[in-house]
Amino acid sequence: MTGIAQYGTTLIPYMVQYRVRRTLGIEVHPDRSVVVLAPTGIHPDLIRQCVMRRGTWITRQQRYFDRFLPSRTVREGIADETWFYLGRRHMLRLHKVAQPSVKLTRGTLVVHLPDPGDRAHVKRLLTAWYHAQSLERFSDVVLMALETMRVRHPVRTPKLSYRTMARRWGSCTASGTLVLNPDLIQAPVLCIRYVVLHELCHLVYHHQGKELFALLVQVMPDWRRWKERLEKNS
Ligand SMILES: [Zn+2]
């Protein structure tokens, strides 16, 4: 079941999961979603009142997670724009050539296409190129991260999938698949490694609790630095 609670001028949408439990519990997830764990049979009004009462805490948690959401600097696909690749700035160069292609040469991203003024085509070519690069690079980062992880904790090799997510850099599904946002390819390698190690830790500890962070600091002592760098990345 879902509901919406009014907290001051803010509307808080929430999802309800009924459980065999006696009290109401509220979770705020990194994607800002709110989940209420409710005893079976409780009246929806009581749930909404509880969400309203916890409004201060919920909105504070959401603001905290907002800091870590991928910011999107909109790029138009025009010449001389700056595009990031592995944390480095690259100037966009467009050339009128019949056969479309994308190449990285000495700090520039060179796009060949029939009509350099066709911004949508430029962006499609770059998105496909970034995606191809992320397929290649991320699997290397995952292999190295697994090696580091296995020194501390036996984890099996997770399935890897890619998904452009508006509000996350990565996630680990309940079935143990590692989902990575291809846009991460714009960030420095150590930021990618941080996201991968964070999600690998979720293979061991599902919840975002102190055990997870204790393991994370073991496998990447300076993880906070790369998390902050990721926030400022784009
Ligand atoms: Zn997490």
Give pLDDT tens digits for 151-181.
998 999 999 999 888 768 898 988 899 999 9
- The Å distance, Cα 19 to ligand 1 centre, comes to 23
- The Å distance, Cα 198 to ligand 1 centre, comes to 6
| Mean pLDDT confidence for 137-143 | 93
- Say what the pLDDT of residue 66 is: 66
Place of tokens 């009142």: 49
Least confident residue range of 1-10, 62-71, 129-138, 156-165 = 62-71
Best CA proximity match to 168, nearest among 159, 179, 158:
179
CA distance 111 to 97: 9
pLDDT tens readout for residues 98-128: 999 999 988 899 999 999 999 999 999 999 9
215 φ, ψ to 5°?
-70, -40
- Say what the pLDDT of residue 39 is: 92
- The Å distance, Cα 208 to ligand 1 centre, comes to 5
- Say what the pLDDT of residue 143 is: 94
- The Å distance, Cα 17 to ligand 1 centre, comes to 20
Best CA proximity match to 112, nearest among 127, 129, 100:
100
- The Å distance, Cα 200 to ligand 1 centre, comes to 9
- Say what the pLDDT of residue 63 is: 79
Best CA proximity match to 79, nearest among 48, 50, 107, 110:
110
- Say what the pLDDT of residue 234 is: 53
| Mean pLDDT confidence for 130-140 | 93
Best CA proximity match to 234, nearest among 38, 66, 60, 69:
69
- Say what the pLDDT of residue 68 is: 56
| Structure tokens that stand for 197 in this block | 């190690």
Q: What angle do CA 141, 144, 150 make, to 5 degrees?
A: 135
- Say what the pLDDT of residue 79 is: 87
- Say what the pLDDT of residue 229 is: 85
Domains and CATH numbers, the chain: 2-66 (no CATH), 82-232 (3.30.2010.10)
Please report, for residues 33, 170, 223, the alpha-carbon distance to residue 178 in angstroms, rounded to integers and kept in the order given: 20, 7, 18
Average pLDDT, the chain: 88
| DSSP-assigned states of every residue in 11-65 | EEEEEEEEES-SS-EEEE-TTS-EEEEEETT--HHHHHHHHHHTHHHHHHHHHHH
- The Å distance, Cα 27 to ligand 1 centre, comes to 13
- The Å distance, Cα 219 to ligand 1 centre, comes to 15
pLDDT at 24 over 70: yes
Pairwise pLDDT comparison (73 vs 186), residue with the higher score: 186
pLDDT tens readout for residues 61-99: 887 776 655 545 567 888 889 899 998 889 999 999 999
Pairwise pLDDT comparison (228 vs 199), residue with the higher score: 199
- The Å distance, Cα 119 to ligand 1 centre, comes to 36
- Say what the pLDDT of residue 30 is: 67
- The Å distance, Cα 75 to ligand 1 centre, comes to 29
Is the pTM higher than 0.85?
no
Query: Cβ(16)–Cβ(33) under 8 Å?
Result: no
- The Å distance, Cα 189 to ligand 1 centre, comes to 19
pLDDT above 70 covers a percentage of the chain that reads: 94
Residues 6+ apart with CB under 8 A from 212: 201, 202, 204, 205
